[in-house]
Structure 1
């Protein structure tokens, strides 16, 4: 099956406090979007990249990717209009895929330093037969359940994991889950990511080892960390060894 990457870059990312949508903020001369698309191309496992952008940013995004050389890459890169919410954007991307059977990788452009090797791990697990795969990292902090300002519980940290992207899926499975979600008048929950949506649909999600470099740039402090990591002429990124 072909492997198709869908890079979500249609959100505004207001918590970063930038004057442009987050995916277009520059990190050491290259935008987060450029870096995320480059990671997909450099993985050498992706056969097509679909970039989800808001209609008002399409021309800017196309020019950005053209100047970066991504639109002239051997792997096709095309732009698709995203929706108002993340789920709407991903669904638009899935509808733009011409294949009936494929592996689809859903990735946040804000995780711009994701190592290509982690992308390969996710894709290979789906190619090996898994319906849904997420890369995960151990949780370092103690997590509290709260109601208002009161603590109601403390989950056992050993069983908790932080989920990253790209998340990989069998295309048919992800499409079916999305159809059910959008057909439901009241699904009873809000899908915070694509794996939670397929879980809601009854699909088993399996994990692979994530990577600290796949952190999400959300706040100014995250951007400071990313700039520190990429300082001094783009140092080599050392990936966590696969399991």
Structure 2
């Protein structure tokens, strides 16, 4: 199974972003290293594509100096094959067992996608999602059980319901998707969400360390964990 490894450094510059250091190392560099470490156990890709906004390309390249990366503005898709495997995936509004797998060989190329905002995701999580992808599913995501109580609130600010959290999960990265299902005009993470809505995405246990570092509080926690 051929693997394209991608780290997405999306968003705009801010107080906490892909270039913010955690333990003295930019988050983008930590995310690339985590992906490479996980891939090293699989005999697959040994290079990472970093997707960054055009205005941040130079800064991202400097942050990743010395790492085997290619910085680009879009996620690569299979030339001439993009979404060719989705003809069967999308033909039913109600999925049935095995839907979406018939036209996708088990050894079809995959793309592993990691969010640069999750710099402490362990390499073992990379290996776990790739191992599940090798069974032939359209996409794989890591998840954690939801432990907080969740409320539904209407536009007026009134609490209207308390959903049962037993079947709710927190979504993480890295995620894996069949490369043939990617569309250059669509956010790759949105592709996986669309497939999930049709019942074509499997999950593996996530890891608490793969939390997103988006705020000053998250950054403090990440700093504590690396020291």
In 2: Cα distance, 1:218 partner to 1:228 partner = 15
After superposition, where does 1:1-243 map in structure 2 within 5 Å? 1-12=1-12, 14=14, 17-18=15-16, 22-43=17-38, 44=40, 45=42, 46-47=44-45, 48-66=47-65, 69-71=66-68, 77-81=69-73, 92-95=74-77, 101-148=108-155, 149-173=157-181, 175=182, 178=183, 193-200=190-197, 202=198, 204-231=200-227
SS in 1 for 2:4: strand
Q: Which residue of 2 aligns with 1:236?
A: none
Maintained 8 Å contact 1:13/1:218: no
Q: Which runs of 5+ in 2 are unaligned?
A: 82-107
Query: What are the superposed Cα offsets for residues 143-179 of structure 1, whole Å, 9 maximum, x if unpaired?
Result: 1111121122211111110010011111112x2xx47
Kept in 1: contact 2:75–2:188 (CA 8 A):
no
| Larger helix share, 1 or 2 | 1
The 1:128/1:142 distance shift into structure 2, 3 A limit, reads same
Does the 8 Å contact 1:144/1:154 carry over to 2? yes
Superposition TM-score, scaled by structure 2 size = 0.79
Preserved CA contact (<8 Å) 2:139 2:201: yes
User: Could you list the runs of 5+ residues in structure 1 that have no partner in the other structure?
Assistant: 72-76, 82-91, 183-189, 232-243
State the alpha-carbon separation in 2 of the partners of residues 218 and 99 from structure 1: 36
**Alpha-carbon separation, structure 2, partners of 1:113 and 1:23:** 12
Q: Which residue of 2 aligns with 1:239?
A: none
Measure, in 2, the Cα distance between the counterparts of 1:130 and 1:99. Answer: 21
Query: Aligned partners of 1:99 and 1:8: how far apart in 2?
Result: 23
**In structure 1, how many angstroms separate the alpha carbons of the residues matched to 2:190 and 2:217?**
23
Distance 1:154 1:195 in 2: 27
